[in-house]
A and B are shown apart, each in its own frame.
Chain A
Amino acid sequence: MATIALDNLRHSYMANPDGDADWALKKVTLDWADRGAYALLGPSGCGKTTLLNLVSGLLKPTEGRVLFDGQDVTSATPEERNIAQVFQFPVIYDTMTVYDNLAFPLRNRGVERGEIDWRVREVAKMLELDDLLKHRASGLTADGKQKISLGRGLVRSDVNVIMFDEPLTVIDPHLKWVLRSKLKELHQRIRRTMIYVTHDQTEALTFADSVVVMNDGEVVQTGTPIELFERPSHTFVGHFIGSPGMNVLPCEFTGDWPAFAGQPVVVANADAYRGNGGVLEIGVRPEFISFADAGIAVRIVKVFDAGRHRIVETEHGGHIIKMLVPEDDSIPGDSAFVKFDPEHTRLYRDGWLVT
C-alpha cells in the first residue's frame, strides 16, 4: 500500500519531441492517497492509458518522477513497484486452470504452498469463482476472465495499487453493472488503492471517490463526482460529464453581469472577473434551466423523451440551449422564455472557470 505522487510527469512516444503535439502527456502533477478509489476519465487518445502505464512502470517517462510513499520509483520495473493491472481485454493463461491462473503470481514469487492455497481460495470466494477453480480458464466467459485478471492482482498481499485499463470494454452491458458494483464493494472491503481508467463517465463517477478528468494530454480537473458535476472548472469537463453536457454560450461583459442575447445573465462567479479580456462564455447545465414568463426568448426545436425527464432542445440566435424538463411539466408550443439558475451558472474565460 502506498501513496502515489506524480511529479511534473511528461511523456512522449517520440525520440525527440518537438512542440506541443508530440507530447502524449503534457505535464501532470498529482497526489493519490493510500486506499483511495480513483478514476482517470477522458476521451480516447487523451493520454490516460499512457499515464496509467507510467504509474505501473510499463513505460518510462520522458521527464518527471513517480513516487511511491515518497520513494522515487521512476526507473523501477512493474515487478519492483508491486502493482497489479487489469487490461482492456482479458489476459489469462489459457492452458491453466482458474486455480493455477490465480496461483501463478504467487508461485513466481516463491510463496509457500499452504499460503498460496488459502489465498487463492479466499480470493476465488470473493470473486465468486470458487466453483470454477478446477475449470480451464479459456472456457470462461469474458466477465469470468476479467475476474481472473483482477484475482491475480488481489491474491498478492503486498500490492501497492491495482490498476484497471478500461476493464469493462468487452463485457456485456447487463453484466457491466454487476461487475462495477462488485468492484466498488471489493474496494470497500479490501481497501487497496485502485486506479480505474475509462472513457465512460458512469463507470468513473460510480466507482471513484476522486476523478481525474483528462483531455489532450493534460489534467483538466480533479475532484469528487459532485464537484465535477456542479462546478466544472473547464468547459470541457462540463461538456464531457453529464448527459446531455453543459450548455456553453458566448457572452459579453457589460456592466456588472455578462450578457447573452442582449439579456444580462446572473452568474455565481461574476465578482471574480476582473475585466481582463479573453473569450468569455457562460456555462450552465441543462438541469439548471427552466421555462419562465420572461427572460431569454427561445424557439423550441426538438423534444426527446428520456424516461423520467425530457430533453428539450431550444435555440436562440443560432445557439442551441438544451434543458431538462421533468416528465410531468408541460412544454410550451413554439416559442418560450427560459431562465438560468444563478447558483449554477458560471462564467468561463478561454475555457477555464473564472476564479
Chain B
Amino acid sequence: MNKSVSQGAWWFVLPVVLLVAFNAIIPLMTVVNYSVQESFGENMFFWSGVRWFEQVLRSDRFLSALVRQVMFSGIVLVIEIPLGLMIALAMPRRGPWVSVCLVLMALPLLIPWNVVGAMWNIMALPDIGLLGKGLNALGLNYNYTRQPGAAWFTVVLMDVWHWTSLIVLLCYAGLVSIPDAYYQAAKIDSAPRWAVFRYIELPKLRYVLTIAILLRFMDSFMIYTEVVVLTGGGPGNATTFLSIDLVKTALGQFDLGPAAAMSLIYFLIILLLSWLFYTLMMRNQAR
C-alpha cells in the first residue's frame, strides 16, 4: 500500500518557524551583521571582515574579563554543588518540617535579581550594613567598594546565598525519588552511612547533578544583574565579568562592531563548555 505524501503539513510547522525566526534567528543574525561591519552614524556600514574578532581576542581587557568569569564560575560551582548536596541530605524526608524547609529554601529563588543585588549592596556597606559593619566590628578590615578581595568575597557569598537553594531543591527531589527498598536493603546489608551515600544516593543523583551543574554553570557564566547592582564591576575592573564588559562596550562606548564580535565569542564559549560538560558527564554514565 502506498502512503500518500502531502506537503500540506508544512503549514503546521510555519508558526513555530516564524516564532523561532523572530525571537532567535533574526536577533542573532543582526548581531552577526554588526560583527563583520564598521558602523558610522546615519546608518552607514562598511565591510570589515573578521577584524573585530581579531581585535577582541587580542585585547587584554576581554581576556582578563574571561579569566575572571571562568574563575567566578569555578569558585561558585565548587562551593554550591557540595553545599547544596549536603543541605539536601540533611533535610527531613517526612513530617511537618518538610514544607517549612522547602519554603525556606525556595525563598532566595523568588527574589528578583536586582533586588538581590541591592539587598547585598546595602547589607555589605562597611558603615551601615549588617554584614559590613559586623565584619569591621570583628576587627576585619572589610570594604567591598575599595578592596578587590572583599568585592569578590561579597559577590561569591551573594551568589551562594542566591543559588545554592536551586541545587538543594534539585538534589532533594532526586533523593526523595529513591525507593525505600534501597535504604532497607542497605540496612540489611549493614552498610555504613557513607556507603549508602556513595553507592545508593550518589549514583541515583547523577542525572540530577548533571543538570544542576549545567544550569549553575550557564547561569553563573552569564551573571550580570546582581553584580552590576552590587559592585558595578568594581572596584576598578575587579568584578567586571564578561557580561558587564560586554554591556560597557556596547552601550557605554557604543562600539557595536567589537561588542557584536564579543557577544558571538561569548555565546560560542558557553555553547562549547556546556556541550563539553554534558558529553563528559553522560559518557561517564554510559560506562
Contact = CB atoms under 8 A, between A and B. Distances in A.
Interface residues of B, number: 16
Contacts, number: 50
A86 B208 CA distance: 28
A84 B191 CA distance: 13
Contacts of A83: 188
A27 B66 CA distance: 71
A129 to B, nearest CB: 17
Contacts of B176: none
A105 B181 contact: no
Contacts of B204: 94
Given A96-B199, A108-B192, A108-B195, A91 B185 contact: yes
A12 interface: no
B184 A87 contact: yes
Contacts of A109: 190
Contact of A105 (B184, B190, B203): B190
Interface string B193-231: 001000110011000000000000000000000000000
B210 to A, nearest CB: 15
Nearest to A56: B188
Chain A's interface size range is 20 to 34
Contact of A104 (B181, B184, B187, B191): B191
B254 interface: no
A224 interface: no
Contacts of A153: 188
B189 interface: yes
Contacts of B191: 104, 108
Contacts of B199: 93, 95-96, 104
Contacts of A89: 179, 181
B97 interface: no
Contacts of A93: 199-200, 203
A91 B182 contact: yes
A91 to B, nearest CB: 4
Given A94-B203, A108-B195, A79 B190 contact: yes
A153 B203 CA distance: 22
A43 interface: no
A58 interface: yes
Interface centre among B181, B190, B195 (most CB of A within 10 A): B190
Nearest to B179: A89
A84 B188 contact: yes
Given A91-B181, A91-B182, A95-B203, A105 B187 contact: no
A314 interface: no
A241 B2 CA distance: 54
A56 B187 CA distance: 11
7 closest cross-chain pairs (CB), A and B: A105-B189, A87-B181, A91-B185, A108-B190, A93-B199, A95-B203, A79-B190
20 contacts: A58-B184, A58-B187, A77-B187, A78-B188, A79-B190, A85-B184, A87-B184, A91-B182, A93-B199, A93-B203, A94-B203, A94-B204, A104-B189, A104-B191, A105-B188, A108-B195, A109-B190, A149-B185, A152-B185, A152-B189
Interface of A: 56, 58, 77-79, 83-85, 87-89, 91, 93-96, 104-105, 108-109, 149, 152-153
Given A89-B179, A93-B203, 17 more contacts: A58-B187, A78-B184, A78-B187, A79-B187, A79-B188, A87-B184, A87-B185, A91-B181, A91-B184, A93-B200, A95-B203, A96-B199, A105-B190, A108-B190, A108-B192, A152-B185, A153-B188
